[in-house]
A and B are shown apart, each in its own frame.
Chain A
Amino acid sequence: MMSLMAEVTEEVTEATGGLSQLGHMDKEVVLTSLDYLWQGLLSVFIVILVVFLVVVILNLISAKSAKYKQAHAGEPTYADKIKEKWANFTSAREDKKAQKLLEREAKKQEKKEQARQEEDKDKQ
């Protein structure tokens, strides 16, 4: 519809030179403006109707999620569950890291001990 209107506008503008001749009404321009009247109003109302529907849907979704939150007030939310899982995951990783560090330290101590024992043997 828009491109059709644009074509009509171009034709009418070409025909009239796009200039005003105050007091000299151009029939074609008036007829096109009448087309604009109904098509323009219709377009504005259609866009607004779509925006209205979207807002109504958004409000419904947020109202539903608010209700769900109220109904499950004591229970942990989905976000809480994910946080908990993440915390468990990270603490497990931390534990593993700590364990590895301890093992490494133990090995180092063992090596040092062995080296000392060997030194003692050599001295003897």
Chain B
Amino acid sequence: MEVLIKGIAAIEWYHVVMWAIGALMIFLAIRFKMEPTLLLPMGFGAILVNIPFSGALNTMDGDVVESFGILDVLKEAGLDTGELFPLILFIGIGAMMDFGPLLSNPKLFFFGAAGQIGIFFTIVLAALCGFGLNEAITIGVIGTADGPTSITVANSLLSGTNSAYLISAITVCAYSYMALVPVIQPAVIKLTTTKKERMIRMEYNPKSVSKGTRIVFPILVTLISGLIAPASVALVGCLMFGNLLRECGVLGSLADTASNVLANLVTIFLGITVAAGMIGAQFLRLETLVVLALGLFAFVFDTFGGIALAKFINLFTKKKINPMVGAAGISAFPMASRIVQKLGLKEDPSNHLLMHAAGANVAGQISSVIAGGILMAFAGI
């Protein structure tokens, strides 16, 4: 009889709180469709690992593993060993991306760079809060608005240290705020722009981009960012490899597999594996709440960075740029560009900003990966 109530007797308050958090994540994923591909597996994983004596985790006898649990095995293979899952996911993301709008209007690259401002301000703020340097960097990386980059940087800087508990907090935070982009960005845009600015029209004259440019672009970006920040090679390389599969024109079935089957498969494992770190006793602490607050700050400043650059350029040019296009320079693709299109249409039903915003959005994707690599280089990785 004792065996049957062993699990029930071991329930602590933090287990119950984590079940509630897991249930909330599943609810948000299903009811509001907030990043369901990741929030649902993560929510279920949070419940799995917070059942006392969970068989999903390794059972330890001192320092020796008594029996292996699937989540710990997946974590070791997919996250701890060279950040395999997020990098493979990047191949799929690269195969989904169309750099056409960006290549036909390369000025939009700078909005992607401006959209990374939040990362660096958040690092300073995290340091002011008392976090260590590596912790501050990983918290700042939430501002890349890019789940795989956040996981890769956090894992390579914090794995195996006493701050490893922050990896799950940072991942949850990054994906939660990505899901909340439709709430955060319109508020920031409305606060920092005038109605007149939001109504600025931008002509769209797409120049045809040659097949050669589309093929050479991913190779050159990998070379340039790799030579300047070698730590970014894995991140940029996987993203650009996926894009090369798409653009080369002779590997249609591989590009299709990478963007659909491979990306979906890795997403399933990534979500549930990340949850392996959401063990209540380590996860529920003040630092996690502070990370959530700092993550929000990073997203707000990223949006503001792009808007500020557009406003600055408008001071010197005749052809004005709608500052909302600058706000799309974050990595959350394609949400950020859709929001800009929606807000533009709301102010003026005939003002279509989607293609400009999409260009800035993919520039944000490239810049966020480069920023992640640069921070890893700063940290000596």
Contact = CB atoms under 8 A, between A and B. Distances in A.
A6 B162 contact: no
B220 to A, nearest CB: 5
A25 B124 CA distance: 11
A71 interface: no
Main secondary structure of the interface of A (DSSP, over half): helix
A55 B378 contact: no
B187 interface: no
B336 interface: no
B132 A30 contact: no
B163 A59 contact: no
Interface residues of B, number: 58
A47 B363 CA distance: 12
Contacts of B107: 52
A9 B213 contact: no
Contacts of B124: 30, 33-34, 36-37
Given A40-B375, A55-B217, A48 B133 contact: no
Interface in B196-212: 207-210, 212
B286 A19 contact: no
Contacts of A54: 220, 224
Given A44-B371, A59-B104, 7 more contacts: A22-B130, A25-B130, A30-B127, A30-B128, A39-B378, A40-B371, A47-B224
17 contacts: A9-B379, A18-B134, A19-B163, A26-B132, A32-B127, A33-B124, A36-B124, A37-B124, A45-B113, A47-B225, A48-B112, A48-B113, A48-B367, A51-B221, A55-B103, A59-B106, A66-B210
Interface of A: 2, 5-7, 9-10, 12-13, 16-26, 29-30, 32-34, 36-37, 39-41, 43-48, 50-52, 54-56, 58-59, 62-63, 65-66
